[in-house]
Structure 1
């Protein structure tokens, strides 16, 4: 496994945990976005989502890893983003993240060891601790960073989800083949 997603190598225990992941569950504000809530003068909510994260999510799903969103807020923008990415499991308005995660795991028949959960603030902490791989971001609350298994180098909304998706795919020996498909040599060989 070779990763270039972080300046330091990923610890072996994190790679082992990531190798078992079959479900990635994401918080939205502070993870898929930078955590800022912007409103227009008319009261319309605005969020910025990172395109790198989007492709990483799609690559995970193509590789057979389910992706879900659990968020404490309800937002049409989150529903649109989930729909655009093909995320089928969207739980909005769920302030008890652990309860929502256990409900989702039961519904999908997943054990804690098969779940990665990525969050950034105190309401995410119990879900982070429950999951086989609990992940946070460097802009997350210090107490969450202290108790997560892993902290990405990229911040929320700036490629952190992509970093985690690459880590999971690399740990499952799927990343190199996936990346090779994007090389010019692969396209020339296949006649594209």
Structure 2
């Protein structure tokens, strides 16, 4: 069932900590928060955007590093410091002419719960909290920050015949 759903996805919404990262936050002596991102996730995000798949980020975190990383990948909607993710998701869906059924949401913890109950495809990393796994349509074998975003984007684009190996090779 999840594959037929993913074939019709028009937008992927990502949480950051625990999805694009492993959830660890390094704080330097100046108080700046640092995260590591998986380069394969990044490649898939920018390729998806080029292929016309909408990719949005909605996170409770406020890191300027996250903003810069997502801007560098040409993510069109990057929302930091969001406490009510569902209201924002509904607003973005309306703005882009999407139904919630058109959206896949990848989340790992309770701030993502209400969104994941409403979207067409709720996806969790392997190390998501149990409540999130229970409402997910698909639980990846990959942990947050270890390629779960790449896995899902690649599945969606392959199912939509938009993962073009020859294009991918020429862009290297």
The interval holding the TM-score normalised by the smaller chain is: over 0.9
Question: TM-score, normalization: structure 2?
Answer: 0.94
Deviation at 1:182, TM superposition (A): 4.3
Counterparts of 1:113 and 1:73, CA distance in 2: 26
Find the counterpart in structure 2 of residue 139 from structure 1. 127
Deviation at 1:121, TM superposition (A): 0.3
Runs of 4 or more off by more than 3 Å in structure 1? 180-183
Counterparts of 1:182 and 1:43, CA distance in 2: 39
Deviations 1:60-90 (A, max 9, x none): 1121111100001211011101111001201
Counterparts of 2:21 and 2:168, CA distance in 1: 26
Gaps of 5+ in 2: none
Given the alignment of the two structures, is residue 28 of structure 1 paired with residue 16 of structure 2, yes or no?
yes
Question: TM-score, normalization: structure 1?
Answer: 0.85
Larger Rg: 1
Given the alignment of the two structures, is residue 63 of structure 1 paired with residue 51 of structure 2, yes or no?
yes
Counterparts of 1:118 and 1:18, CA distance in 2: 12
Paired residue secondary structure (2:12): strand
Q: Which of these residues, 44, 50, 62, is aligned with residue 38 of structure 2?
A: 50
Q: Which of these residues, 103, 111, 119, is aligned with residue 99 of structure 2?
A: 111
Counterparts of 2:149 and 2:69, CA distance in 1: 14
Count how many residue pairs are aligned between Structure 1 and Structure 2: 170
CA RMSD of aligned residues (A): 1.2
Counterparts of 1:60 and 1:152, CA distance in 2: 19
Counterparts of 1:81 and 1:181, CA distance in 2: 23
Find the counterpart in structure 2 of residue 5 from structure 1. none
Deviation at 1:171, TM superposition (A): 1.6
Paired residue secondary structure (1:181): helix
